[in-house]
Chains A and B, each alone.
Chain A
Amino acid sequence: MTEVSVAKEEVAATGDLVVLKSVNKHFGALHVLQDVDLTIARGEVVVVIGPSGSGKSTLCRTVNRLETIDAGTITIDGRPLPQEGKELARLRADVGMVFQSFNLFAHKTVLENVMLGQIKVRKADRKQAEVKARALLDRVGVGTQADKYPAQLSGGQQQRVAIARALAMDPKVMLFDEPTSALDPEMINEVLEVMQQLARDGMTMIVVTHEMGFARSAANRVVFMADGRIVEQATPDQFFSNPSSDRAKDFLSKILHH
């Protein structure tokens, strides 16, 4: 048993971190994910873009099984996603998630938000958890807000706290589900800067976004989705200057012309 799992780890360490194979999902009659194949290597930053309703958020949420899939397989670090239960909770701790609407725990302070997972999931002691939480809050630039409640912070600050909360679990991969879509324009950059720093530090990231500037500057690869399918994958340079599919050309012409 142990030998097998050790062998797996070794293979995984050199290979791909997140692998989706012919993933299918329906919402009632709507076929939101159609035979999606996607592989993300360790340290890679993949930006998923596409028109709304194309399934990109759903795709992001399937990776830590906040959405279940109907068919296909998803493996993380060589292990298939487990069923609901202890195993799944353990896996989710290794996959950081940042939501469009921040979802900070409203009844806990900023500091408690970042400490909670460390204490309850990682079983760290309070002292260590607090030291780490404060360091992370400093890193994302909201160290001075540690004792406030989420509702007292601006959207940009809340989202940076949410990033710190996810980082506190030492995740192998971070998922960003439209992290700047609920923000006022002047707060978008403060969040993107934190994400760019993360990307430079070598974090594996899957980012669903409408921020083309971020895609250009931080992504290793752009994945373009439409109608539940991955239509095109390319480097940012290639994708933005010379998209190969008509669907992508159409999409880019609509968003880049103003």
Chain B
Amino acid sequence: MSSPYATHPEARENVFDFLQGYDVLGAFWTTVKLTVFSAVGSLVWGTLLAAMRVSPVPLMRGFGTAYVNIVRNIPLTVIIIFTSLGLADIFGVTLGASDFKVQGFRLAVLGLSAYTAAFVCEAIRSGINTVPVGQAEAARAIGLNFSQTLRLIVLPQAFRAVIGPLANVLIALTKNTTVAAAISVAEAAALMKTMIENEAQTLSIGAVFAFGFVVLTLPTGLLLGRLAKRLAVKR
């Protein structure tokens, strides 16, 4: 069987022709940016939430618990759409963006951070529970206050214990960025949808995007796994 293209090479130069005219790399770059900004945001906010959940102040503990239990139980799609239709359209929160594209991106980062922080918080809290009570007692015994004890002694050891679980959260976050398509952020999944509508090679398009996500997430998992082993606290 000879290829139908053999006699007309100019008709089809290769099997990836369907990618022509689409900025696939650009779309994945948006995915990467969404992931990185949201990862930083959720790590900071999640750590603060974890600190609240172990603090001696009942009001903070209550807030932390309520936040986690509400936010992690709302579908991400609902949260992302709320940032656009609720925060932006009704309350006028534009996050300092002048054009619609930038505003969508920033709102998506906000929604993803708020959502992922709940999971980061719980991962870190379980890490805090792996740190022996004696560590905090010794810290208090030399005169460190609550926040110093947490920052200098407990959290550094807790983080090292939960690098694995945090890698899971980060991988989930990378894939969750696809929900930003719901508020028209031009990331990978949004482009995939457009391409599937316009091109015939549905399976190939799906495979390309699936491969793209694996390329992003697989090294994350492997790298953090190795880091977890190297930084493990020896007792």
Query: Contact residues of A with B, CB < 8 Å?
Result: 64, 66, 84-86, 89-97, 99, 101, 103-107, 116-117, 120-121, 149, 151-152, 162, 165-166, 169
Which single member of B56, B141, B145, B152 contacts A86 (CB below 8 Å)?
B145
A92 close to B142 (CB less than 8 A): yes
Asked if B212 is at the interface of the complex by the 8 Å CB criterion, the answer is no
**A86-B145, A116-B144, A152-B234 provided; 20 other pairs, C-beta below 8 A?**
A66-B140, A89-B143, A92-B142, A92-B143, A94-B143, A96-B141, A101-B132, A101-B134, A103-B138, A105-B139, A105-B153, A106-B157, A106-B235, A107-B156, A120-B148, A121-B144, A149-B234, A151-B234, A165-B138, A165-B142
B141 touches A97 (CB 8 A): yes
Whether the pair A99, B139 counts as a contact (CB closer than 8 A) is no
Give Cα A151–Cα B145 distance, bound, in whole angstroms: 25
- A116-B152, A149-B234 known; A99 and B145 CB under 8 Å? no
Q: How far is the CA of A84 from the CA of B139 in the complex (A)?
A: 14
**Which residue of chain A has its CB nearest to the CB of B157?**
A107
The answer on a CB contact under 8 Å between B137 and A92 is no
Main secondary structure of the interface of B (DSSP, over half): helix
Query: Can you sample 17 A-B contacts with CB below 8 Å?
Result: A66-B137, A93-B142, A97-B142, A99-B134, A99-B141, A101-B134, A105-B135, A105-B138, A105-B139, A105-B153, A106-B233, A116-B152, A121-B143, A162-B138, A165-B138, A165-B142, A166-B141
Chain B's closest residue to A118 (CB) is B142
Instruction: Known contacts A106-B233, A149-B234; decide if A169 and B142 are in contact (CB<8 Å).
Output: yes
Query: What residues of B have a CB within 8 angstroms of the CB of A92 in the complex?
Result: 140-143
Chain B residue contacts of A89, Cβ below 8 A? 140, 143-145
CA of A90 to CA of B144, assembled, Å: 8
Query: What 0/1 readout, one digit per residue, does chain B (147-180) give for beta carbons within 8 Å of chain A?
Result: 0100011001100100000000000000000000
Closest B residue, CB atoms, query A84:
B56
Q: Which of B138, B141, B233, B235: most chain A Cβ within 10 A?
A: B141
**Could you tell me the distance in whole angstroms from the C-beta of B140 to the nearest C-beta in chain A?**
6
Interface residues of B in 184-208 (CB under 8 A from A): none
User: Which residues of A sit under 8 angstroms from B139, Cβ to Cβ?
Assistant: 105
Residue among A66, A96, A105, A149 with max Cβ neighbours from chain B (10 Å): A105
Which residue from A85, A106, A117, A149 sits with its C-beta under 8 Å from B142? Answer: A117
Q: Are A103 and B143 closer than 8 Å at their CB atoms?
A: no
With contacts A66-B137, A103-B137 taken as known, whether A120 is within 8 angstroms of B235 at the C-beta atoms is no
A contact residues around B160 at 8 Å (CB): 107
Do A169 and B143 touch (CB < 8 A)? yes
Q: Which residues of A contact B144 (CB under 8 A)?
A: 89, 116-117, 120-121
Give the distance to chain B from A86, nearest Cβ to Cβ, in Å: 7
In whole angstroms, how far apart are the Cα atoms of A18 and B144 in the complex?
A: 22
Residues in A neighbouring B137, C-beta threshold 8 A: 66, 99, 103
Report how far A60 CA is from B153 CA in the complex, Å. 23
Contacts of A106 in B (CB 8 A): 135, 157, 233-235
| Nearest CB of A to B127, in Å | 12
**How many Å lie between the Cα of A156 and that of B139 in the bound state?**
20
Rounded to whole angstroms, the CA-CA distance of A91 and B142 in the bound complex is 9
Interface set, chain B 95-140, CB cutoff 8 A to A: 132, 134-135, 137-140
* Top-7 shortest CB links A-B: A93-B143, A103-B138, A117-B142, A103-B134, A151-B234, A97-B141, A121-B143
Alpha-carbon separation in the docked complex, A84 to B234 (Å):
31
B233: chain A residues at CB < 8 Å are 106-107
